[in-house]
A and B are shown apart, each in its own frame.
Chain A
């Protein structure tokens, strides 16, 4: 198991490096380079631009710059300073990361619980009215773009029924309370999770239906195992393995979904930080976030792989 884990860990390193290299190269390839914003400013003369370029080291070859950037990141955890605010990028990210992880975690939990249980129930009641309703709802669930779902739920729950707050993490001017925080979390988390509730329950339904048709399930039934034992001890455990692959593959999507969700609901997380960076062309910030995001996704994938290896010995032993 340890060897498997170490091998997978090593495999993610080139991925993160490659993504950051590509982004770095693209950043340099922009017309005017990273200081393009300054050259448009009539108050900044060409000699100032040259000085700024030299200060930031932009006059050196891209690969050297990348090497220096990487060295600072790896050895000092230093992503440089924001072009716009001058703050260290790592601090900006550090402040925002918990909010994103909280939103993602809540959405993941909702999706996991409702998605898998919905899929199990649908598979057990296959071809009944209940099953068709779940299938129809999940069909729309996988088809609604997350930002429109956000707008519509805001329209209903905030504007029309005045049930839930539409923005931020806390009510302003009120002492902190957990309940208030959860009220703020509920709508963004639900909006972000709907896609995954829907798609995971469809996968779970398909996978469990296949497993339930297998001979060993009949054997278990013939032995006189109770319905609950057949479904949960024999069927669900095997049916969950392919679904877990899908879940692992969806983790990047959960992360990217959070950019849009955070933007709509003014949730002060990394997605929002990224979006602000895009609007202000703050390239050091964007680089830092993409680097952290790909590292985070790689780690999430690694965790998923490990769980997968624990669940299914064949995968662990095959490699």
Chain B
């Protein structure tokens, strides 16, 4: 479970130092991990589910998000129609039992396309965040651990990226690459413009955490820097990073849909939620369902991501944990 992460007992967060004591029991083992023991992991799990039960909004978001993901995974099984099947005898049909979301200008079933679109939009969102996560964690980890000029350079780069009109630049890039822009390229472009938040958070946590004794211990044991950063410092960043990544996922989905809506992201006939809205403006007056449903899916997904990020932030914040 991603939830039961070592950071929950992070000494850096001002919580208990219990975990540090646990480590000193096995001082000579390389795996001097600051992670909780198996028993305490179980406790963490219970803690999360109990908090989740007390937060109906987060519970609902988790369920809706799971449904969206399931719909995307099992998209071909959701409807008897094929996503790209053009049927000119069934153009512009309003929502009905046959076509729950209606049909579009080419007579394609919007419901099945929305489900397939979920595959693309979610995949782009996740991949883009993976790229952002890799860059952000690497930059933040190195900047926080080494400090000095490395830190200055990397943080300047972050400031720079934050002040750039990113959407203009992405659009420019995709127009340079287009018309054959691949989905991977879209993910890369979005990922490369979303890593700054992660880098900042990771750097902040690494900077405070590296002052603890267990890092000195690891150094004394002669572990290489890379191993100290990856095994001993980065686990402490999990909570804030998880929150940032959940928010970033929402952001990536919005950016992808905006790009595709303007015609510079995922290319037709591949359905993504944004790409499906590309021509919707022309049909607003006569068949609004073409515009409504794909957009509704974007909203639902993004709302769920935002709610879950809020919830994770609350649930993982040590202050609130202590209060409960």
List chain A positions with a Cβ less than 8 A from chain B.
12, 15, 18-19, 22-23, 26-27, 29-30, 139-140, 142-148, 151-152, 154-155, 159, 249, 252, 255-256, 259-260, 263-264, 274-275, 278-279, 281, 286, 289-290, 293-294, 297-298, 301
In the complex, what distance in Å separates the CA atom of A279 from the CA atom of B171? 10
Extra inter-chain contacts (7) besides given A29-B176, A144-B302, CB under 8 Å:
A18-B160, A143-B250, A145-B254, A145-B258, A148-B291, A279-B263, A298-B163
C-alpha spacing A143/B306, complex, angstroms: 8
A-B pairs with beta carbons under 8 Å apart, 24 shown: A12-B163, A15-B164, A26-B172, A26-B173, A139-B303, A143-B299, A144-B302, A147-B258, A148-B291, A148-B298, A151-B280, A152-B291, A154-B281, A154-B284, A155-B284, A155-B288, A159-B285, A252-B164, A259-B168, A274-B168, A278-B172, A286-B175, A290-B172, A298-B163
CA of A274 to CA of B160 in the docked complex: distance in angstroms?
Answer: 22
Q: Tell which of A19, A22, A29, A146 has the most Cβ of chain B within 10 Å.
A: A19
On chain A, the residues within 8 Å of B281 by CB distance are 151, 154, 264
A72 to B175 alpha-carbon distance, docked (Å): 25
Q: How far is the CA of A260 from the CA of B165 in the complex (A)?
A: 13
Tell me whether B277 and A147 are in contact (CB under 8 A).
yes
CB neighbours (8 Å) of B284 from chain A are 151, 154-155, 159
Interface on chain B toward A: helix, strand, loop, or mixed SS? helix
- B168 x A142 contact (CB < 8 A): no
| Given A140-B299, A147-B261, A259-B167 contact (CB < 8 Å) | yes
* A26 (CB) vs chain B CBs: closest residue: B176
Chain B residue contacts of A140, Cβ below 8 A: 299, 303
**Chain A residues with CB under 8 A of B263:** 279
B292 / chain A contacts, CB cutoff of 8 Å = 152
The answer on a CB contact under 8 Å between B261 and A290 is no
Interface residues of B in 166-181 (CB under 8 A from A): 166-169, 171-173, 175-177
Bound form: Cα–Cα A154–B168 in Å: 24
Q: Complex: how many Å from CA A286 to CA B164?
A: 15
Which among A148, A159, A255, A264 has the highest number of chain B CB atoms within 10 Å?
A148
Residue B202 is within 8 A (CB to CB) of chain A in the complex? no
- Over the window 230-268 of chain B, the binary record of Cβ atoms lying under 8 Å from chain A Cβ atoms (1 yes, 0 no) is 000000000000000000001000100110011110000
- On whether the beta carbons of B165 and A252 are closer than 8 Å, the reply is yes
Contacts of A290 in B (CB 8 A): 165, 168-169, 172
Pairs A-B, 5 closest by C-beta atoms = A148-B295, A256-B167, A143-B302, A143-B303, A278-B175
Cβ-defined contact, A144 with B258, below 8 A = no
Contacts of A256 in B (CB 8 A): 165-168
Provide the bound-state CA to CA distance between A36 and B204, in Å: 46
Q: Which residue of A lies closest to B164 (CB)?
A: A19
Residue on B nearest A251 in the bound complex, by CB: B163
In the complex, whether B106 has a CB less than 8 A from a CB of chain A is no
CA distance A140 to B160 in the complex (A): 30
| Cβ-defined contact, B160 with A275, below 8 A | no
Q: In the complex, what residues of B have CB within 8 A of residue A139's CB? A: 303, 306-307
- A283 to B231 Cα, complex, angstroms: 47
For B175, list chain A residues within 8 Å (CB): 278, 281, 286
**Minimal beta-carbon separation of B290 from chain A (angstroms):** 10
CB neighbours (8 Å) of B28 from chain A are none
* A18 (CB) vs chain B CBs: closest residue: B160
Choose from A27, A29, A274, A294 the contact partner of B171 (Cβ within 8 Å). A274
CB distance from B307 to the nearest CB of A (A): 7
A124 to B288, CA, bound (A): 40
Question: Which of chain B's residues have a CB closer than 8 A to the CB of A26?
Answer: 172-173, 176
- The docked-state distance in angstroms from the alpha carbon of A123 to that of B130 is 36
Contacts of B176 in A (CB 8 A): 26-27, 29-30
Q: How far is the CA of A192 from the CA of B169 in the complex (A)?
A: 20
A144 to B297 CA separation, bound complex (whole angstroms): 10
CB distance from A22 to the nearest CB of B (A): 8
Nearest CB in chain A: distance from B211 CB, A: 22
Q: Give the residues in chain A near B173, CB-CB below 8 Å.
A: 26
Evaluate whether A19 and B285 lie within 8 angstroms (CB atoms) in the complex, with A139-B307, A152-B292, A278-B175 already known: no
Known contacts being A151-B280, A159-B284, A252-B163, is A145 close to B172, with CB within 8 Å? no
B276-287 interface mask toward A, CB cutoff 8 Å, 1 = contact, 0 = none?
010011001100
With the chains together, A151 CA to B289 CA distance in Å? 11
